[in-house]
Amino acid sequence: MERPRQTWGDGIRQDRTALGGADRLALELDVLRALCGGAGTTQQHQALSESLARYRFSEPEHQVVFESLCALSSRKEISAAVLGVHLNNRGFPDLDLEKYFAAAPPSVEQALVRVDELRSAPNADDGVAQKRMSRS
């Protein structure tokens, strides 16, 4: 089933369907897998990191991993071991990092599309949170 899209200025199509929690988490994980994957140029990874700079990850673990990946961005390739040491030094010793180093991560181009989707789609949980706040 195709999700409805709306065309905005300059022909930019943005998905206006709210993302549920599981969909948002899956997209976030895909983007982080692309950053860990090593494919693409340094400039592409930098563009991907910059596109996420103002994004607040739904999952706190994803936010912590992203921040560590940014800190390690000067390295050509980032391994699970290197990321694990960095996260341990930041006080996060028990994260399962294998999921970020999947065998076939998305390309940087695919990850940039996913970032656009994350940034443009409203969070499906926002309406629930707003209803809770208005009841108090």
Q: How far apart are CA 65 and CA 126, in angstroms?
A: 24
pLDDT score recorded for residue 29: 95
**Percentages of the chain per state (helix, strand, coil), in multiples of 5:** 60, 5, 35
Q: How far apart are CA 30 and CA 14, in angstroms?
A: 19
Q: How far apart are CA 13 and CA 66, in angstroms?
A: 27
Contact 55, 122 (CB under 8 A): no
pLDDT band at 136 (very low <50, low <70, confident <90, very high): very low
**71-128 per-position pLDDT tens digit:** 998 877 789 999 999 999 999 999 999 999 977 888 989 999 999 999 887 765 544 4
Contact 36, 105 (CB under 8 A): yes
Q: Two tokens at 68? A: 């560590």
pLDDT score recorded for residue 17: 59
For the chain, give the longest Cα–Cα distance: 51
**31-40 per-position pLDDT tens digit:** 999 999 877 7
Q: How far apart are CA 115 and CA 45, in angstroms?
A: 13
pLDDT score recorded for residue 13: 38
> 40 vs 16, 55, 70, 104, 129, CA distance in Å?
29, 21, 16, 13, 38
**38-64 per-position pLDDT tens digit:** 777 888 888 999 999 889 999 999 999
Q: How far apart are CA 49 and CA 31, in angstroms?
A: 10
pLDDT score recorded for residue 125: 55
pLDDT at residue 129 above 60? no
